[in-house]
Amino acid sequence: MSNLDAATEAIASHLHPTASYNLADHALPTGKEEIWRFTPLEPLRPVLEGASADAELAWSGELPEQVSHAELSKEDVVAAGAQAPFDRVAAVALDHAAQSARIDIPAGLEVADPIVIDAVGRGGTVYGRTLVNVGAGASVTLVLRHRGLANYGELTNIVVGDGARLNFVSVQDWDDGAVHAGQHSILIGKDARVKSVTASLGGKLIRLMETAKYAGTGGELEQFGVYFADAGQHSEHRLFVDHNLPNTVSNVDYRGALQGEGANAVWIGDVLIRKVAQNISTYESNKNLLLTDGCRAESVPNLEIETGDIQGAGHSSTTGRFDDEQLFYLRSRGIPEAEARRLVVHGFFADIIRRIGVPEVEQRLLAVLEKELDAVGLPAANNEEN
């Protein structure tokens, strides 16, 4: 166990957040804290203060018969030991959740079709507590789709067993007034391979803390994200990959498009490479495309390196308008400007969307992308010349 002790040793740093199961350890934010300074707190008041839950999300979906589900207590979550809450919303949700789900995917189960679960809000304050266990050697795709309206605070822990393969897709396809804050954490077993895709499309405010760490050596994480922020929307993704064991891999690629007055996106990419984490490899990338005036993107990659004995570590972040050279190239082949812009934006996201591997989710995202492009006044392909 000495290895694990070293692996979870606290490291003094303001860069990555501190976790605790105890709600008292997560003070009500003032907005000045590093982890809260980019977030508008007003819409989050109910789920931060722990307003009593007065609603539930309607969950539906078909689980394969070998997959079981059950209620889940806070004690179950603590006992599973995957990941304690990193912020107050997740801690409140863990304590207050009236709605909970524990999903167990047995060891060795291979499911070709994606398991799609819909969670639909009908207004009100909702807390959710979810634990997914993916048994050793299992291979599944799990899609979680959020729709409707709610003030939703949640904690979702996913434990991926040794040698398992998980493709986890979380879609935030909320109605305009929805607020969704919380934490998705993945614990990656020995030699397990995890691909996660987060797509945040709608809602007034989305703030997801997405974290990963390793329960064994040789684990691999590929983490993709797509987000669209429109006028008055706040879309925040706070990533933390904890390379707490040797020979582990992480690759992160998040892309967003913003348009309209007050459209706001925040991306934080924290990576911690601990002393024991020799021979790891990590790369994080975030790209933002500003489609109109009046929108704002924050992009903050942080790399903390406690050992130099690694394969590689890097990050990149770009935020900008259209690339003039790309537009010139396309237009010099006769493609009208509006269509050239559309091609560029399409390409920007198609690169990520095609990796989802769940056709109905890919199609939904492409349809939303079309709507985004319509809203900026970019006509459908081959329409006419401007």
Partner 1 sequence: MSTLEIKDLHVEVETEAGPKQILKGVDLVIASGEVHAIMGPNGSGKSTMAYSVAGHPKYTITQGSVKLDGVELTQLSVDQRAKAGLFLAMQYPIEVPGVSVANFLRTAKTALSGEAPKVRTWVKEVNEAMSRLGLDETFSSRSLNEGFSGGEKKRNEIVQLELLKPKFAILDETDSGLDIDALRIVSEGVNRYMAEGGHGTLLITHYTRILNYIKPDFVHVFVDGRIVTEGGPELAENLEVEGYDRFVKMAAAA
Q: Which residues of the shown chain bind partner 1 in the complex (CB under 8 A)?
A: 323-326, 328-337, 339-340, 343-344, 346-351, 381-382, 385
Picking from 351, 281, 286, the residue whose alpha carbon sits closest to that of residue 315 is 286
Contact present, 211 and 239 (Cβ < 8 Å): yes
User: Taking the complex as a whole, how short is the minimal distance between the CB of residue 257 and partner 1, in angstroms?
Assistant: 13
User: Taking the complex as a whole, how short is the minimal distance between the CB of residue 339 and partner 1, in angstroms?
Assistant: 7
Picking from 188, 84, 80, the residue whose alpha carbon sits closest to that of residue 136 is 188
Query: How many Cα neighbours within 13 Å face the side chain of 12?
Result: 0
The pairing of beta strand 205-214 with beta strand 58-61: unpaired
User: Taking the complex as a whole, how short is the minimal distance between the CB of residue 354 and partner 1, in angstroms?
Assistant: 8
User: Taking the complex as a whole, how short is the minimal distance between the CB of residue 346 and partner 1, in angstroms?
Assistant: 7
Q: Which tokens in the block code for residue 59?
A: 């969950």
Contact present, 63 and 168 (Cβ < 8 Å): no
- The whole-angstrom distance between residue 244's C-alpha and the CA centroid of its chain comes to 20
Q: What is the DSSP letter of 23?
A: G
Three-state SS sequence of 78-133: HHHCCCCCCCHHHHHHHHHCCEEEEEEECCCCECCCCEEEEEEEEEEEEEEEEEEE
For partner 1, give the closer residue by CB, 52 or 332.
332
Q: Is 82 exposed, middle or buried (0-12, 13-18, 19+ CB in 10 A)?
A: buried
For partner 1, give the closer residue by CB, 300 or 344.
344
How far is Cα 200 from Cα 229, in angstroms, rounded to an integer? 8
For partner 1, give the closer residue by CB, 69 or 331.
331
How far is Cα 305 from Cα 313, in angstroms, rounded to an integer? 9
User: Taking the complex as a whole, how short is the minimal distance between the CB of residue 383 and partner 1, in angstroms?
Assistant: 10
E strand intervals along 308-372:
312-320
The pairing of beta strand 234-243 with beta strand 264-273: parallel
For partner 1, give the closer residue by CB, 90 or 368.
368
For partner 1, give the closer residue by CB, 32 or 333.
333
For partner 1, give the closer residue by CB, 75 or 325.
325
Longest Cα–Cα distance of the chain, Å, equals: 67
For partner 1, give the closer residue by CB, 81 or 347.
347
User: Taking the complex as a whole, how short is the minimal distance between the CB of residue 332 and partner 1, in angstroms?
Assistant: 5
User: Taking the complex as a whole, how short is the minimal distance between the CB of residue 194 and partner 1, in angstroms?
Assistant: 24
User: Taking the complex as a whole, how short is the minimal distance between the CB of residue 299 and partner 1, in angstroms?
Assistant: 18
For partner 1, give the closer residue by CB, 23 or 327.
327
For partner 1, give the closer residue by CB, 199 or 273.
199
User: Taking the complex as a whole, how short is the minimal distance between the CB of residue 163 and partner 1, in angstroms?
Assistant: 32
User: Taking the complex as a whole, how short is the minimal distance between the CB of residue 347 and partner 1, in angstroms?
Assistant: 3
Picking from 96, 91, 95, 94, the residue whose alpha carbon sits closest to that of residue 29 is 91
- The whole-angstrom distance between residue 295's C-alpha and the CA centroid of its chain comes to 21
How far is Cα 331 from Cα 339, in angstroms, rounded to an integer? 9
For partner 1, give the closer residue by CB, 107 or 344.
344
